[in-house]
Each structure stands twice: as C-alpha cells, then as structure tokens.
Structure 1
C-alpha cells in the first residue's frame, strides 16, 4: 500500500491524538510531512538504509546477528541435568525452521530486524496443535494491537495470536505494543557520523583545497566578476592537474580560506569519537568494530569476555525463553538453550586444555567431552575420572601404595626416639 493510500485512510488506523495522521506511516514519511526533514542548519533525520552507510553501523548490525546465529541451538529436557532431545520441534530450531531456509539464515534475518528496526518477528505454523514450521515476518508490515486484553499480530491479511508469534523486541515501549528502534532513537549520533563523512569526502574530493574567498580590487559589473571567478577557478584546476604546488594570482589579490581547517577542527579525533559513540548504542566493545586506539594485548581478551557475558548471553537468553514459551508452553517439558561454548570453537588450544581439565577433575566423562567436539563416543568412555594425587589433607596412602609400606598412625616421635635409644 502506498503512502498516499495510507494517508487517505484506506483501511488504516488513525492516531487518537490526530486522526489525520495514519499510525502505519513510516518515521521518515511523518517527519517529511511535518517539514522536519527539510530544516536548515540541523542534522537530517536518516532512515535505516542511510544509517547502514556508516561503516561502524554496518559492522555492528552484521557482526551481532552472525555471531548469535552461529551459536548451536539445542533442546534439552526440563531440569538441572536434562538430557538433550531431538524431537521435531528441536529439528526446526537446530536445522531448518521451514523448507525455504536454514536455521542460521532464519536467525540472521531475525536478529537483523532487532538491531536495525528494533524488533524481530516470526509466526509459528501448527498442525493439530504441533509446531511444524517457523516463518519470518516483516516487522514494518505487521500491525500489533491488543483486543480484550490479548495481544495480536496482523500480517499479510492474517491475524496471529501472541502464542503463535516469536517476538524479540530491542526495547519495549510503555504500551507494551510498540518497540524502540536503536537507529531511530539514536538518530543524531549516526547522522553526525554521516555529516562528518560527507565533509571529509567533499574536502578530499576537492583535492584537499578548502573554500577560498578572493580579496583585492574586484572588477565592476556582474559579467566582469563572473569572468574573474572563472579565471581563478581555471587557474586552480590547471595547478591541480599539473601537480604544481602554487599558481599565479592577479596583482594585489589574495585567497583567504573560508570555514574550519579539518586539522584545527580535529576531524580525525571527532570521527573516531563517533565510532565509539555508535558502538555505545548497541553496547558493542570498541575492539570489535576496528577501534584499537585503546586496545592492548592484556585488555583485548577481556573485551572478548565482555562481549560474551554482557551482550551475546543476554540476547541469547531473550530468544531462548521466547522459543521455549511459544513452542513448549508455560510448563515446558523441554527447554531451548544456546551453546555458548560455540564462541570458543576457533580457539582449539584453549578448548582442548579446558576439556582435559574437566575430564581430570571429574566434571565430564571422555565421551561427553567428545560430544562437545562432535566426535563419536568410545568404549569405556562413560566413566568419570579424577587424578589420584588429589586427596584430602591428612589422608595417608594405604598398603602397597606406590610399592611402599603402610604408615602407622599410632607411631609418634616419642616412640621413634625410644626405639632409637634401645637400639
């Protein structure tokens, strides 16, 4: 449906405060209608497509979805020590939610919508009450309303109950229907980064020559002034093309720069600050967007832990609970969980050392550790092991330990001294 159709009210809801404004109009359309997009001397209100032109925004909204989608997504029996199950619903999550895309592709799209527009939606296809498919929804084409206390989603001519929709908002609004978009809410920070990029592009596209004003005796008449400007501009172009460092000026004339020198305006520092500012929107550690200005060998590894603990784990938990509720109900016999160990899949040395330590301390059996590496089980690999040298304080070896005799607990120093004296 076009913007004009929506504006005329053809099948659309209207704002309660102002019935002339359709609720479904996009943010950019509303801003353009009220003239906010055309204000002078103000940062422009940008769309998601424009925001993706900023390298740091592009990096974040691609890095986070790919990272979250690459985590293993498994289903376990409810309980602290629940075993992994592989029922049909678990297959939807771990392999393919529908015949058209893989679990990875579906989750990448889902998280892309969360980190750009502020919401990821998918509807559940059911047969006899059982989930048989999960299909992504376009959040910008979905109307969310509450009728008789129940939330419903209207998409492509169909209405879905909340129990049949997987909904992951970036941040809910007060009415618990709408959600905030990180790009729309922090528009100024991203728009400032675009403005700095445009200024730098214009500066260097002009050969690094800032705008100048000609000082000196000026010719009279509009035609004479125009010819003088053309001659000066021609001289600048010839000097630039020939690689000369200077060009001649008419007697008594000089060029005075207009505007701010990029070096004096700290353009490099300001653009670096905008990278950090945009990273704060998504709480992304700066080292993961290429900002190594404060990175070192000691703190880069800590940034990796920060990413896993305070960013990836939180969003993984949000999707886990949503999938568990919508696929298995309020009292689930199964629970959906991400395998955060997948973040260490590339660190073979660290994983090997961690698994070896878990086996030697009785935390994992050899077959359990092999399963984490997608390796088949081995015979006699289901027993727990522990190093025998690790014993409680005060414990003494038994008879025959290491081929030596047993120690007598009743023997003390005095008995030993008396025995020595008698000898």
Structure 2
C-alpha cells in the first residue's frame, strides 16, 4: 500500500491526504520499493510489452470489441425503455467531444484499462446538461483523498498547469483496485514476468537467426598464450564463420588439433517453440481472454472454438460493458436517478453472422417479442407503414381447443384455430 501522509487536525480529528499517481512506470515502481533486480531480463514497460504479439493482440482485440458495441441512452417509461434523443444521445452514441467519435474515444479509454490498468474521462457539464466527455491521460493524473472525498488532479504535461476534478465528474474504470480503493493493479505490471520471458525469447530468437542460426561456440585445443594472441585467434574463427555464411558453404577450416563445441542449449532441445506457445496461454490468462482470440488454435476444435465465443461475451465482454455502464450511470445521472440509464447492446457482437442474426430476428417477430419495424431498426432499415404490430403464429391454441379434422367431412362447421368458445356457443353462432 502506498504511504499516507497523516496530519492531526486542530479539532483532534485525524484526516488523511493521499496522493497516488494513477499510472506508475515500472522502473519507478521498482525503485520506490528498493527492488533493483540484477537479473538480466528485458525491462517491462507498456511500450515494450506491446511488442509481444500476444499482448498487442489482447489489447487491440478487447479495446476494439468494446468500442464496437452499440451504446445508447434510455429513459424508462410506462411503455418500456425509450431511447433518449438530443445532446445526451450525441455524446453517448455518436461523438463524445468535438475531436473524437464514439469508437475512437472508447477505444482509447479501453486501451488504457488493458495496458496501465485504468481508464479515465472527464464529464463537461453546462446548465443545459451533459456537454461532452474528454479522455484523461492516466500518466498525467493523480488521485487525492481528503476525508471521504476523492479528487482527481490532472496536470498538463506541456504547460504544467493542474486542475482538480471531483470524483462525480470523472468516469473511472480500473482493471482491479487495491485495498485502499485508490491504487490499482494493471495487467502489464502484474503479468511482467510472463511478458519478460516472452521478450527474452523474442530477443534470443531474433539474435539466433540474425547470426545465421549459429549458436555460441567454444574453441577447444591448444590455445595461444597471452590476451592479444587469444583475441587474434577468436577473431580468426569469427572471420572464418562469417566467410562461410557469405559464401553459403557448409564448411570452414579451423587450426589442426582444435574443435568447436556448442555452448548453451539448442533452441529445439530447450523447447523454445513450446515455451513461446505457452506464453500465449499465460498472457491470455492475464486478460481472462480465450486463447482462440489471440490466434492460438493449437487446442482448438470446431466445438470448443464456437463455445469460446459464448464465453467471451458472457464472462468477459459483458462484465467490462457492465463496469462502464455502472460508472456512466452513476456519474452522469447521480445516485438518485431511476428513470435514465446508459446500456450497451451486446447483440452488436452478432452483426458479423448474417444467418444467425436473421434467425434470431425471425424468432423474435414470430413469437411477439419484436415488431417487424423494431427488427428492421436493428438492421438500420427504414420502418414499414404496417410494421408496428406484434405478430404471433396463428396455429398456437390452448390444449383441447384444436379444430376437429373430421368436422368438415361430417357436414359440421369447422371452428377457427384460434376460437376458444365452448362448443355449444360456437354451434349457436
């Protein structure tokens, strides 16, 4: 836990002032706790972590998927939910501010969540209502808590000017909060060891193949005396290897009575390919993301790959969508609001599957869940003048009231399929 600066108030009541950087670089984090690792592993920052293809794929996929989901403002009425029009719908669905559309704004927001671990946005208000949403750079923001109030301090990195915002004006979605309720855990820092290993294997693989696939070698045999003579011998062997590579000849000479021995592990014997594949699984665990969405189909089948799509929506995308919805509903409308709300439409994830989408809309219309015009609106198609009525299959009747197939043959008047009158009343009619 980060240290608190305690001050005894004149009234004798203790208050706490805590200032915590929202985004702490990994190096500063290690130095703060006096942990200067001597292990020769790559340094992990957000930028270096994104050079790992699995991390890049996870952040890009999750941020773009969440930014793609339709997001609307609704009002609760006696006839059910109704979309809110006007400036609020423009801010939520179309363009949160003058410089960004909804996709770009939310993609940036979620990129901060899935890298540093926190997404922030400031709510601009006017007497008329919500005017805009502006992204806040987590690296330029700190949190200060005085008593029970939380204040976000944003410092412009160019001018150095600072502005304080109350918590009620800041949309804040952390990846995971620490016990103090201010600090957070970020996925890149918490998965730093797995990312370090992936970076190390990337570096080793690139260096290995850049050297022509030749591993480190040791020269055995009578060695020359003296440091300078040893350097010349090593230079001669190095030049011989380089000449062999340039000439594409598999052989090169070495002095008589000497031999070259490989130093270190062969990448194949060290299971480098298996280890790199396992790092994809490790990084997918850090994001709770099914491996198939990181392009890892090593354990994929037709059945479980299809199920991973359901798992993605139910156990990951739906949860993060709820996190943003809850924060926006609280900060935009306040605690006492009961009539207005913000909500994602998770059906937007099905827009790419035309057959499944059409089947779902057909079932909704045939079972009186959707009107034809409501289904057409989901497909961005114009309304039809006779499409506002709920429809249902006419063959569905109560048990025991189905028509007698022999009634017509016997000369009796057949009852309509949806006629629920008793037989005597029907005959009288």
Please classify the TM superposition score into its range, dividing by the shorter chain length: 0.7 to 0.9
CA distance in 2: counterparts of 1:366 and 1:401, whole angstroms: 36
Q: Given the superposition, is the C-alpha separation of residues 243 and 132 from structure 1 closer, same or farther in structure 2, using an over 3 Å criterion?
A: same
- Are 1:353 and 2:359 counterparts? yes
- Are 1:367 and 2:365 counterparts? no
- Are 1:136 and 2:141 counterparts? no
Please tell me whether the aligned partners of residues 20 and 183 of structure 2 are also in contact (alpha carbons under 8 angstroms). no
Task: Tell me the secondary structure at the aligned position of residue 231 of structure 2.
Answer: helix
Q: Which residue is equivalent to 2:289?
A: 284
Q: Given the superposition, is the C-alpha separation of residues 354 and 402 from structure 1 closer, same or farther in structure 2, using an over 3 Å criterion?
A: farther
Q: Displacement of 1:14 after TM fit? A: 8.0
CA distance in 1: counterparts of 2:385 and 2:408, whole angstroms: 28
Please tell me whether the aligned partners of residues 324 and 336 of structure 1 are also in contact (alpha carbons under 8 angstroms). yes
Please tell me whether the aligned partners of residues 407 and 414 of structure 2 are also in contact (alpha carbons under 8 angstroms). no
1:73-84 pair list within 5 angstroms = 73-78=71-76, 81-84=80-83
Could you list the per-position Cα deviations for residues 66-114 of structure 1 after superposition, in whole angstroms to 9, with x for gaps in the alignment? 1101111011113793122213212201011111111111111111111
1:292-303 pair list within 5 angstroms = 292-303=297-308
Q: Which residue is equivalent to 1:87?
A: 86
Q: Displacement of 1:392 after TM fit? A: 3.3
Q: Given the superposition, is the C-alpha separation of residues 338 and 34 from structure 1 closer, same or farther in structure 2, using an over 3 Å criterion?
A: closer
Q: Given the superposition, is the C-alpha separation of residues 42 and 78 from structure 1 closer, same or farther in structure 2, using an over 3 Å criterion?
A: farther
1:161-180 pair list within 5 angstroms = 161-180=166-185
Q: Given the superposition, is the C-alpha separation of residues 202 and 401 from structure 1 closer, same or farther in structure 2, using an over 3 Å criterion?
A: farther
Q: Displacement of 1:405 after TM fit? A: 4.1
The TM-score with structure 1 as length reference comes to: 0.87
CA distance in 2: counterparts of 1:401 and 1:106, whole angstroms: 67
Please tell me whether the aligned partners of residues 398 and 406 of structure 1 are also in contact (alpha carbons under 8 angstroms). no
Task: Tell me the secondary structure at the aligned position of residue 131 of structure 2.
Answer: strand
Q: Displacement of 1:258 after TM fit? A: 0.5
Please tell me whether the aligned partners of residues 14 and 23 of structure 1 are also in contact (alpha carbons under 8 angstroms). no
Q: Displacement of 1:23 after TM fit? A: 5.7
Please tell me whether the aligned partners of residues 396 and 407 of structure 1 are also in contact (alpha carbons under 8 angstroms). no
Could you list the per-position Cα deviations for residues 203-260 of structure 1 after superposition, in whole angstroms to 9, with x for gaps in the alignment? 1111111001011111222232222211111111111111111222221111111001
Q: Displacement of 1:401 after TM fit? A: 9.0
Q: Which residue is equivalent to 1:417?
A: none
Could you list the per-position Cα deviations for residues 4-24 of structure 1 after superposition, in whole angstroms to 9, with x for gaps in the alignment? xxxxxxxxx98659xxxx965
Alignment coverage as a number of residue pairs: 393
Task: Tell me the secondary structure at the aligned position of residue 383 of structure 2.
Answer: coil
Please tell me whether the aligned partners of residues 365 and 372 of structure 2 are also in contact (alpha carbons under 8 angstroms). yes
Root-mean-square deviation over aligned CA pairs: 2.5
Structure showing the higher strand proportion among its residues = 2
Q: Displacement of 1:158 after TM fit? A: 1.4
5+ residue gaps in structure 1? Answer: 1-12, 411-423
The TM-score with structure 2 as length reference comes to: 0.86
Task: Tell me the secondary structure at the aligned position of residue 172 of structure 2.
Answer: strand
Please tell me whether the aligned partners of residues 120 and 139 of structure 1 are also in contact (alpha carbons under 8 angstroms). yes
Please tell me whether the aligned partners of residues 45 and 188 of structure 1 are also in contact (alpha carbons under 8 angstroms). no
Please tell me whether the aligned partners of residues 400 and 406 of structure 1 are also in contact (alpha carbons under 8 angstroms). no
Q: Which residue is equivalent to 1:344?
A: 350
